[in-house]
Amino acid sequence: MFCQHCGNQIVAGNRFCTNCGKQFIASPTAVASRDPEQALQGHIRIIAVLWTIYSVFRIFMAGWAIIFSHFLFPVWTQMIPPQANFNVAPFLRMLSGIYWFSGLFAVAVGILGLWAAWSLWQRDPIGRTIALIVAFISLISIPLGTALGVYTLVILLPDAAGQRYARLTAPGVALDAHSSQ
């Protein structure tokens, strides 16, 4: 059994948690509650899969934006008739630069996201830190990056999650509940 307030394991027969001091209420849900480290392992797997998918998507879309700006903007410049009394070329060059910058930024963040996913899969001690960094950066990428960033921050940012992640990355710890049996 585990405390409903702090997740600490409760010794059978105790009425109060030895960690937080709050009264333990024995109920069917309390008896069946998961170990917080097992719950964190499940969330880490989900976060790693989602960061992998989102990062690959982000790199693919960045490549498309760079190709789009490189090949189509010059074509559009050539489509303007010579007798037109306005010059669109400077605007299209500026727009192309914006596409290049945003594409390179997306590639860099995508690579960072793949690194975070790999580190979380491997239970690398730095994986939590990388995942938090990429989550903060991705908050501006509405809607998918924001949703994934918030989910990652809610799960991995609390101090208790940091302590549990440190225990999971310690040498000799099984990677999931099935391998320890």
Mean pLDDT, range 133-146, rounded to an integer: 96
Query: DSSP of 21-86, one letter per residue?
Result: -PBP---HHHHTPPPHHHHHHHHHHHHHHHHHHHHHHHHHHHHHHHHHHHHHHHHHHHHS-TT-SS
Residue 105 clears pLDDT 80, i.e. is over it: yes
Residue 178, domain member (yes or no): no
Residue 181, domain member (yes or no): no
pLDDT of residue 140: 95
Residues 24 and 43 both lie in one domain: no
Residues 1 and 70 both lie in one domain: no
Tell me the residue range of the domain where 156 lies: 36-173
Residue 7 clears pLDDT 80, i.e. is over it: no
Residues 2 and 59 both lie in one domain: no
Residue 180, domain member (yes or no): no
Residues 28 and 45 both lie in one domain: no
Mean pLDDT, range 55-71, rounded to an integer: 91
Mean pLDDT, range 23-42, rounded to an integer: 69
pLDDT of residue 170: 84
* Whole-number percent of the chain with pLDDT over 70: 85
Residues 56 and 27 both lie in one domain: no
How many domains does the chain fold into?
A: 2
Residues 20 and 93 both lie in one domain: no
Residues 18 and 93 both lie in one domain: no
Mean pLDDT, range 14-27, rounded to an integer: 75
- Look up tokens 């996913």; give the residue: 117
pTM of the predicted model, to two decimals? 0.72
CA distance 124 to 102: 30
Q: What is the mean pLDDT of the chain?
A: 84
**Model confidence at 131, in pLDDT bands (50, 70, 90)?**
very high
